[in-house]
Amino acid sequence: MYDDPTYVEHVIATGAAGYLLKTVGRDELVRAIKAADNGQGYLQAEITRPVLTRFSRTYEEWSDIHLSPRETEVLQLVADGLSNKQIASSLEISEATVKTYITSLFEKLGAVHRAHAVALALRHRLID
């Protein structure tokens, strides 16, 4: 329906198999339905370029962010719902060290709290 790349990204991120505009022709609609039925994705040609441009811009903005293996590990444990104490125990480091890692992660990601850091990391595929 809408050709805004941000909207398309949101719809796809929530599980859509494809995206079509209201202007889609009958033949393309049939191709899209068949693609979805076969487990494939489908984007209408008119929105492909804007979506690709947005993804490449997003990649460029985030390509300068480099997390150390330990920062990635801490962030993954935060995403798994562990407290600082649990993370410290799991990694055999102090809680103060965990807090230092989390502070560093907030700065690198531009996050304001733990959930925001996790959301940003998932959105930009820094963690699984």
- CATH of residue 113's domain is 1.10.10.10
Q: Do the domain assignments include residue 85?
A: yes
DSSP single-letter state for residue 113: S
What's CA 93's distance to the chain center, in Å? 29
In angstroms, the CA 29 to CA 82 distance is: 45
- What's the number of domains the chain is made of? 2
Residues 45 and 29 in one domain: yes
Q: Do the domain assignments include residue 83?
A: yes
Q: Do the domain assignments include residue 44?
A: yes
β-partners of residue 19 are 43
Residues 37 and 76 in one domain: no
Q: Do the domain assignments include residue 74?
A: yes
Q: Do the domain assignments include residue 128?
A: no
In angstroms, the CA 39 to CA 99 distance is: 43
Residues 97 and 55 in one domain: no
Residues 26 and 73 in one domain: no
In angstroms, the CA 75 to CA 102 distance is: 8
Kindly give the confidence (pLDDT) of every residue in the chain, 128 residues in length, as a single tens digit, with 9 standing for 90 and above: 577 777 887 787 778 888 899 899 999 999 999 988 988 888 888 888 777 776 665 666 677 788 999 999 999 999 999 999 999 999 999 999 999 999 999 999 888 889 989 988 888 888 98
Domain assignment of residue 77, given as a range: 69-123
> 98, 87 in Cβ contact below 8 A?
yes
pTM exceeding 0.75 = no
